[in-house]
Structures are given as C-alpha cells and as structure tokens.
Structure 1
Amino acid sequence: MSTERTGMRTSTRALLAVALLAGFYLLAAAIVAVLVWLNVELVVNTGFHAAMVKLWLLSIAIAYPVLRVVFLTRRKRDDSHEGLPLTREEQPELWARVDRIAEATGVRGPAEIRLVPQVNAGVYEETKLLGLIPGRRHLVIGAPLLIGLTEAELDSVLAHEFGHYANNDVRLAAVTVAGRTAIGHTVATLHHHADQHVAERAAEIAEDNAKREARGRRASGKDAGNGGAERYLAMLFTQYAKLYFRVSESISRSQEYAADRHAARIAGRDATASALSRIPVLDAAQSFYLNSYATMGVGAGMLPLPGQFFGGLGRLLADPERREELAEMGMELPDEQADPYDSHPPIKQRVAAVQALPDTPGLPGLGEDRPALDLLRDPQQRLTELETLALIPEALAMRRLDWPELVHEAMYAYARENAQPVLRALTDSGLPGTAEAMLDALDAGRAAELAGRLPQSEESAQATGRAAREFHRPLLRNALRSLTVLALASQKAARWELSWSRPAALVLPGDAEDRLPGALDAAVADVPDTAPLRALLAELTDRS
C-alpha cells in the first residue's frame, strides 16, 4: 500500500476522531438540552403542580454532573516538562545532534531538552485550540536510553519522535489526545462521584442502624444503591469512550508505523530496528536494576554514591553475562496480539515492519556506535543533578556508599533482620543471642525447646517424636546459620561481594565455605556434634 494512500486513510480516521470528539460534547449538551425541553414542555402543556418539583430535582440531579464534569472542571496539568534541563551552552554536542535530526526531518526543533529518569523519549508541544495553533516544543530524553543505547540507536529514537511532526495527519494528534484526556477524565470523575455517593449513603445507613440497634430495634435493611444518576451517566459515556478510543488509537498506531519509517530513512534501517528491540529490554533491565541494586540498601538508610542511583544501570548493562542475557531477550520479543485500545502496535510487529524496509545507511555523520551517554558533557554530574530532582528528600538524606560497601552493608542489615526470630527464641529461653549460646543449648538437649519458639508451619508445630525432629532439623539449621553468618560478618571474618550477574554472595576465607555446611549439619543432628562449628568460628574470628 502506498504512503499516500496510507496517509489518506490515517487523515480520514483523524477527521473522524475530531468529529467524534465534537460529538462527545454535543452528547453532553444534548442531555442537558433534552432535560430543559422536557421540563418546559410539561409546564407549558400541563401547568405547574406539586409533582413538578420532583421532576425538576431529578433533572437537576442528571444535568448538574454533566455540566460540572464535562464543561466546568479543569483537567490535570501536563507534567511532561519535568526533568533536568539540558541547555545548549552546557550540552552543545547533544543539541547539535538533535538540531541536525530535526532539520533532516523537515520540522521545527525543540526549544528545550530535559533529561528524565524513565525509559522514554518524546516531543511535547505547548499548543492552543486543541493543537491547531503551534507553540514551543520540548524534547524529553530518558537517562536509561542514553546509558543503554548507542548514538546510532538514539538517532533513530529522536528521528522517530520528530517523524510524528513530519506527517500531515499529526497536526490532528493533539486533538485526539485532548479527546482521550477529556473523555477519560469525564468517565473517571463520574465514577468517582458515584462511589462517593455510595460511601456517604452507606455511612448514613450504618449510623442509622447503630441508633436503631441502641434502641432495641432491627436494622432498616436499606441499600446504599449504586451511585445514582452519575453512575448511569458514567456508563453512557463509557460506551461512547470505547468507540472514540478504538478510532483514535488506530490513528496512533498508524502514526507509530509512519514515524518508524521516518526514523529508518534518517538514522538507518538497522539502527531503528535495533533500538526498537532494545527499548523494552532496557525497560525490564531498568526495573530490575532499581529493585535489586539501586534500592537494595534503602531499608537500612543507604543509597549508592551520587550519580549512581540511575547511572549504575550502565554497570549492569556492561556485565558480560547480563549483556548476553539481555541480548537474548531482545531476540525473543513476545508475540503480542494488537490491542484495539492500545496507542502503540506490538514491538515485534514494528520491528518486522522496519526490517522489511529497504536498507538505508542514515545521514552522513550520524550513526556512531559509541554509547549515547558520550553525547553528554560530564554525564556523572548530570545524573547526580537528576537524582536531586527525582528522589524524595528522605532518600537524598540517606548515607551514600560505593557499590562494594553498599552491597556488604545492605546484606549485613538483612542478615541481622533474618536472625531476629532465633535471637528472640534464645532470649525467651533465657539465653544470650549468640551462636555459641545456641550451640550450648543444642549440647544441653534443648533443641526441641528452641525449635518450638521459632516460626514454623502448623504441621510442624503439631508433630511429635521422630516426625518432630525431622521438621525441627531444617528450622534449627537455618537459625544456626543465620547466627553464624551474623557472628562472622560482625567480626569482619565474612563479607558479601557485589556481582552484576547474580545475587550478592557471602565470601568466607580459605576452605571455610566448604566446611560450613557439614559443620551445621553435625550441630543439628539427632546426636549433636557442635565441635566442628565451634572450631570453625574460633579459627575465623581469630584470623580476623
């Protein structure tokens, strides 16, 4: 299918979306107009009578939420301009790159570039009259994209974003976005008000029933209802929203394909396909990194050094094993079905569409294989400034450690937390909270007593005899290991080491790692032998 024909079909759908948006407001106005007409007709034809008051109140109950929600309430302000400003003076290389891609696309470039923490890039414009009057453009670039993409791949991302503005039909994009926002806001607000009415009515009924019961009377049995007129209005507008979203989102999907073609023409087919494949992988890597590394010490009041909260993602991506794992993820994109209510086609379909295009080298001077982060001057400082904007004050006040110390201190804090159940069990048994005290208790035949004070399953707690000992042995072994690890770490005889490809591992000196499992097994055996573990503890603590 030709580009011209595709553009005509997209433009037709865009015009239909504009008509549907106008229809949304006309539907709201029609509801109010019909209510007014009915009331006027009844008064003219039947004259005023007492029943009219109830009809007027019902009409107001329907018309007021329509007027208030659709026409009078203000929408939430766009927060797309948050982030760290990157000025021309500070970042000339990045600005030169952006300017050249905008010029090659044939569109007006941004007035501002901002760095954001998300795996995202976008161009936003301060338009008026639903996008019909242009305004200042703002480009946002996610720090993970700079960290995880090459310059060539970043070129394709930027070319894609400017490509949205190169399409003739994109002039109506602001209208469709405004429509989605307005309709979604209307439906959500009506449901919210209906929920409030239900909650208020339920509270009134509960209060009334409490008074009735205090007087010895039965509860009224009244129902809180479903939210009245606003719930039914929400259901009506929801049906209209489904039609509008199907049309408007189909426009967005067509525009994504068109923008991908622009990106392939300007930055090269292969770079565009590569960037499309890598972005969902980067998104997954960013989430994993933040959860497993950047915030691992938050519970103990610790964060990585300034600039590393977001910048440490680069260390994870540079690890050979992680790099291989992520490369496999990029080659195995999921086979998703297109969702009629999704603004973006499935990534795998977009990659296939780009790969089917003729090979294009991209613009001369673009497409280097250097990390995109090299486009920033003093990237570490920029990432530090981004942290200051993105993190809450409580996080910014936390202790900052380099990665090896952060990993060790965070895991040491977790070890103390994991040891709390056995420490309480020892204290409740009148013993000090040490590994030696637990070994003394095992030698004294108090294994069952200690096990009974540890958290365990109902089946384990009810077991007796041989079955009880089998249940208790792993409980006691885990508890004793927790105490042993805590004792060794506190004496600096053991240390957790950082790994970017697997969980942090506890490292013991010499052959202690091989000897520890057997020593633990012997200590919790039916006939306990605590000597091997005592000897190991003494040897390691003396060495430290």
Structure 2
Amino acid sequence: MRTSTRALVAVALLAGFYLLAAAIVVGLVWLNVELVVESDRFHSAMVKIWLLSAAIAYPVLRVVFLTRRPRSEHRNGLVLTRAEQPGLWDRVDRITAATGVRGPSEIRLVPDVNAYVSEDTALLGLVRGPRRLAIGAPLLLGLSEAELDSVLAHEFGHYANNDLRLGAVTVAGHTALLHSITTLHRRADRHRAGKAAEIAEDNAHRLARGRSARDADPGDGGVERVLAKVFTQYAKLYFRVTESVRRRQEFAADRHAVALAGRDATAAALRRIPALAAAQGFYLDRYATMGWSAGLLPMPGQFYGGLAHLLADPERREELTAMGLDLPDDEPGPYDSHPPIRQRVAAIEALPDTPGLPGLGADRPALGLLSGAERLLADLETLELAPEAAAKRRVDWPDLVHETLLAHARGQAQPVLRALTGLGLTGTVEAMLDALAAGRGAEIAARLPQSAESAKATGRAAREFRRGLLREALESLTVLALTSDRRARWELSWSRPAALVLPGDAAERLPAALDAAVAAEPDTAPLRALLAEAGAGAAAPVPASS
C-alpha cells in the first residue's frame, strides 16, 4: 500500500472512530426507544436498562465529543526573536527557502534533546496556521552547525514531502484516540478508587460495631474501563496503519536532510543525538541537580549550559562517540512512529554524498549561531526550573561539588553524632577516639543503626559487625573534621565521580589508622597524629540533628 493511500485510509479510520462512538450512543437510544414502543406496559426493569444506557452513553459523549483536546504542540521555552538572533533566523530562512516551504513565525529555545516544527491547525489538521520551530539547547551545545543544519532540514523536510499532505490529520487522530482512551482509564481508576473507599469506610463501621469486615471487590472501574478496552482495540488498528505512514515519512525527511546538509553531517547528527540524550540525563542527575537538596545550584546559565563541560571532557567524548557507533539493532514494532536509528543511519550512509546547500555545513559549534548564549541559557533556566529554584544559592562548579558532598557527609555522620551525644559526649572525632581508647566502643555501636543480621549476631560475628559499624562511623567523623574547614576538599571531575583529596599522604595512611582505632585493642595514636598533622586536631563539636 502506497504511503499516500495509507494516509487516506488513516483519515477514514479516524472518521470511523467518531462513527463508532456515535453508533454506541445512537444504538443505545434506538434500543431504549424500541423498548418503550414494543412494551405494552411499564416494567421496573426498564428503569434499570435506561440507567445502564445512560451510564454507557454519558462517558462516550463526555470523553469523545465534549472534552477539549490538549494542544499537540508545546509552548514552553524561550522565544528567540529575529531582531535578537539574526544568525539563527538567517540559517532557518535559508533552509526553508531551499526546501520550498513556509518558514516558522516563531523560534523557541527548549531544554530538551529535540527539535520539532509544530503548526496551529483546525479541522483535524486540514486547515493549517502559523508554524513554530523549537530547538533544544543540548543540540546547540553538542552538535556542529552542519549537524544542526541536517536536523532542521529534516524537520522542514516533513512539510516538503507530498506524502505529508495528510500527516497532520494522522497526528491529530493519534492525539484524539490516545486522549479518549487515557481519559476513560483515568475515570475508571477514579471509579474504582471511590468504590474501594466506600468498602473501606463500610468495613470500618462494621468493625466498630463488632462485626467482621466484608471481602468485597471494588471492581475494575465500571463501564469506563470496558469502553476504554473497546476503543483500545480500534486504536491498535489505527496505529498500525498510521505509524507505518510516519516511519516512511522519516526516511523521506532524512533524504531531504542529506540533499541540503550532506550525507555525512546527517548521519553524524543521527548517531550523536541518542548519545546527547543519554549525556543530558546523566548530566542533569549527577551534576546540575546534585546540590538541589542542599539548597545549591550552579551559576546562572550553567544549569543547562554546563553540559558543554561534560561534552568537552576527553573521556566523556570518547564514551559518547562509542555510543554513536554502537546503535541498538531493534526491529520496529507495528505501533512505532519512528524507524530504529540504526536503520535510518544505514539508509543515509547508503546514499551518494552531496555537497549540500552552499553556505551550510560548517564544522563550527552550533552554539555560535546564538548571540549572548550564556544569557539566553540563564533566561531559559528562569522559565523552566521549578519556582523553588529561585531560593537556591548559586555557586561555581568546584564549590557546588564540595559543598554538596560536605552536606552529604554531615548527613552520613548524624547517626554517630546522635550516639555520642546520647552518651553525654561531644560530637567530635576526638571525643569518639577518647571513648574508643576507654573501651566504650560497644556502647557507641549499640546506639548505631544496624541490620537485622548484625543485631542477631553473637560471639565473634557480633564483634566483627560491631567493628565494621564503628569503623564506618569513625570514618564519617574523620572526613567531616578534615573537610569542614577545607583541610580536605572534594574535587570536581567531568569524567568520573568527585574525589576527596586529603592533605599530604593522609589518603594512604587513613585506612590503616581507622583499622587500628577500632581494633580489639584500640590504638588511636595513628589517627590522632594524622588529624594533628592536617590541622584538624581541634575541630569544633558538630551538633546532631534531631
């Protein structure tokens, strides 16, 4: 079946979805009319049938026909005006002119590893309105100009392909079906939760009166769940047809990108984007938000912009290059809207190379297309981050790493601090060393959190568990003593976890000193000497949190 034919079938199936919903309602009305006409007298059962019909018809009308559809395009991000960003707008204008399509009325900078063109439409996409282009900041940070050109050419290539005349309709149908099914399931979940709450309340009353609770089933969600399952089966047929259309459209848009930006740049961008997505997720989790719970954020412009540091690290760059070469070889399912990237790259690399559009294809970083990039990234943070971000303290990367891990170290030390204060001691490493030297290790260990296995242990096993607890607690206090006034410091690394750098040869001596302090015959002298040499021998008590 040709792609254009499939698109027409998709339109017919979309109409069929609404006809199916209308047929359910009309059929119920007809059934009730026939019931009245054919009955010679009123039956109480008729009321039950009317109520059941209403219970089925109402959610169909409410969800399928009366619920306002969510807008398919996103409106987040930072607007980049033509006056402020002439370089980027000029690049987009040249690509759309070469493509022969209408350009966007608006460009937005978004935080996602994505680029897309959305369009205001009416009548399920048959009437088209203004277009909007969204460009992800990670693409500007991680791609070259040539690679970004290929991404933009791909997106606008969708609108140049004649097979896309009905593409907006298939997308609108996809959205309508998913919205209806999701809403029905949500209503069914609320119905089931309501029934479960009624049963729980009834059982509470029964137990209060000395009666046994009922083992009642709240059900699966009522008629809404049944309707959702019916529409799901119809949606599977629709998706099987439309997703095949959309996969072919992706290949066509890739060919268009090759014609404008060149084969190599298009293949390189496709290989790089999944690696960029992985890098962005890793970066946001391990770096940008690492200090969130400690009330810290990187400097303005660095929450998203700091990804450039990770991408520039030689080891990380090597990892990301390897990810781009080792693409997964997954077979597409019948409902996948995009072909696997490995298949798309293979199809692109099988094409003859082209010089691309004159003036495009530079190997410079794509971020150079923006004027005042750091300011724009800071403005993007203001728009996209949660309101709580405004109360966070902004620090540079080295301080962010050190202060975050220092806050974590303080948290790690809380159990032993509570144990010491519970025994009437001060919250310092010196106080714990004095207690260990005095033979009070067992008292401290008894107040530390321990596993069920260690709590049940006896004899030698108990002593080994206790030694492990004491060593871990002593190490947390020692680290806190060394780092609180920066005698030691956690150092930032973009290629591996932050490392604690201790003064002199303390790192080599510390393990043996800790072992000696918690031995059966405690020897605290090595650790005391290490702390004294590092200037941490008179650390102030650290209060334990309640």
Q: Which residue of 2 aligns with 1:223?
A: 217
Specify the alignment match of 2:152 in structure 1.
Answer: 158
Q: Deviations over 1:125-164 (max 9, x none)?
A: 1112111112110000000000000001000000000011
Deviation track 1:232-252 (CA, whole Å, cap 9, x = no partner) reads: 111111110111111111111
| Equivalence for 1:5 | none
Segment of structure 1 superposing worse, 474-483 or 283-292: 474-483
> Is residue 125 of structure 2 the alignment partner of residue 125 of structure 1?
no
The 1:354/1:48 distance shift into structure 2, 3 A limit, reads: farther
2:13 is aligned with 1:20: yes
Tell me, in whole angstroms, the C-alpha distance in 2 between the residues paired with 1:47 and 1:485: 90
Q: Check if 1:317 corresponds to 2:305.
A: no
Cα pair 1:81 1:140 within 8 Å, conserved:
no
Query: Who is 2:260 aligned against?
Result: 266
- Alignment of 1:30 with 2:46, yes or no, is no
User: 1:127·1:134 contact (CA, 8 Å) conserved in 2?
Assistant: yes
1:140 maps to a residue whose letter is A
Corresponding residue number in structure 1 for 2:543: none
Residues 391-434 of structure 1, C-alpha deviation per residue, up to 9 Å, x if partnerless? 12211221100111111111111111111111112122221111
Give 1:460's aligned residue: 454
Q: Aligned partners of 2:76 and 2:57: how far apart in 1?
A: 37
Identify the match of residue 423 of structure 1 among 413, 417, 428: 417
- Per-residue displacement from partner, 1:270-299 (whole Å, max 9, x unpaired)? 100100010010000000000111011111
After superposition, residues 107-506 of structure 1 pair within 5 angstroms as 107-219=101-213, 221-506=215-500
State the one-letter code of the partner of 1:366. Answer: L
**Structure 1: which amino acid aligns with 2:205?**
K
Equivalent position amino acid for 1:19 in 2: A
| Deviation sequence 1:318-376 (CA, Å, 0-9, x none) | 01111111111111112222122221111111111111111112111111111100000
Show the counterpart of 1:83: 77
Deviates more, 1:90-99 or 1:221-230: 221-230
What corresponds to 1:68 in structure 2? 62
- The alpha carbon displacement at 1:12 in A equals 1.0
Is the 2:482–2:536 contact (alpha carbons within 8 Å) kept by the matching residues of 1? no
* 3-state SS of 2:497 partner: coil
What's the counterpart of residue 3 of structure 1? none
**Closer, same or farther in 2 for the Cα pair 1:213/1:533, shift >3 Å?**
closer
Distance 1:407 1:212, change over 3 A: closer
Describe the SS at the equivalent of 2:394: strand
CA contact (8 A) 1:194 1:231 kept: yes
Do the aligned partners of residues 40 and 104 (structure 1) sit closer, same or farther apart at CA in structure 2, a change above 3 Å counting?
same
* Partner amino acid, structure 1, of 2:139: L
Q: TM-score normalized by structure 1?
A: 0.96
Distance 2:478 2:215 in 1: 61
Residue 4 of structure 1 corresponds to which residue in structure 2? Answer: none
Number of residue equivalences: 537
| Structure-to-structure mapping, 1:52-63, within 5 angstroms | 52-63=46-57
Identity among equivalent positions (%) equals 73
- Alpha-carbon distance, 1:205 to partner: 3.0
| Matched-pair contact (CA < 8 Å) for 2:150–2:266 | yes
The answer on 1:46 being equivalent to 2:47 is no
Contact 1:107 1:166 in 2 (8 A): yes
1:122/1:161 contact within 8 Å kept: yes
**1:536–1:205 Cα change, 3 Å:** closer
CA distance in 2, matches of 1:219, 1:456: 38
Q: Which amino acid aligns with 1:199?
A: A
> Helix, strand or coil: the match of 1:252?
helix
CA distance in 2, matches of 1:87, 1:490: 47
SS in 1 for 2:64: helix
- One-letter code aligned to 1:193: R
Distance 2:196 2:398 in 1: 55
The offset of 1:536, in angstroms, is 0.9
Give the Cα separation in 1 of the matches to 2:463 and 2:206.
Answer: 57
Structure 1 residues 418-470: Cα deviation after superposition (integer angstroms, max 9, x where no partner): 11111112122221111111111111112222222222222222222322222
Per the alignment, do residues 175 and 433 of structure 1 end up closer, same or farther by CA in structure 2, a change over 3 Å counting? same
- Alignment partners' CA distance in 2, 1:533 and 1:91: 60
Q: Which moved more, 1:115-124 or 1:512-521?
A: 512-521
Native 8 Å contact 1:480 1:520 kept in 2: yes
Contact kept? 1:86, 1:113, Cα under 8 Å: yes
- How far the C-alpha of 1:525 sits from its partner, in A, is 1.7
Q: Quickly say closer, same or farther: Cα 1:216–1:304, change in 2 above 3 A.
A: closer
Seen in structure 2, the aligned counterparts of structure 1 residues 202 and 375 have a Cα distance that, compared at 3 Å, is: same
Following the alignment from structure 1 to structure 2, what is the Cα–Cα distance between the partners of residues 221 and 501?
A: 56
1:447 partner amino acid: G
With 77-86 and 501-510 compared, the bigger mean Cα shift is at 77-86
Summarize the Cα distance change of 1:403–1:60 in structure 2 as closer, same or farther, 3 Å threshold: same
Is the partner of 1:366 in helix, strand or coil?
Answer: coil
Equivalent residue of 1:123, what SS?
A: strand
Partner letter of residue 91 of structure 1?
Answer: Q
Tell me which residue corresponds to 2:91: 97
**2:134 match: secondary structure:** strand
The 3 A distance-change label for structure 1 pair 137 and 531 is same
After alignment, is 223-232 or 117-126 more displaced? 223-232
Tell me, yes or no, if the aligned pair for 1:494 and 1:508 is still in contact at 8 Å: yes
Question: What are structure 2's unaligned runs of at least 5 residues?
Answer: 539-546
Equivalent position SS for 1:471: helix
Shift of 1:222: 4.3
Which amino acid counterpart does residue 500 of structure 1 have in structure 2? W
Q: Which runs of 5+ in 1 are unaligned?
A: 1-7
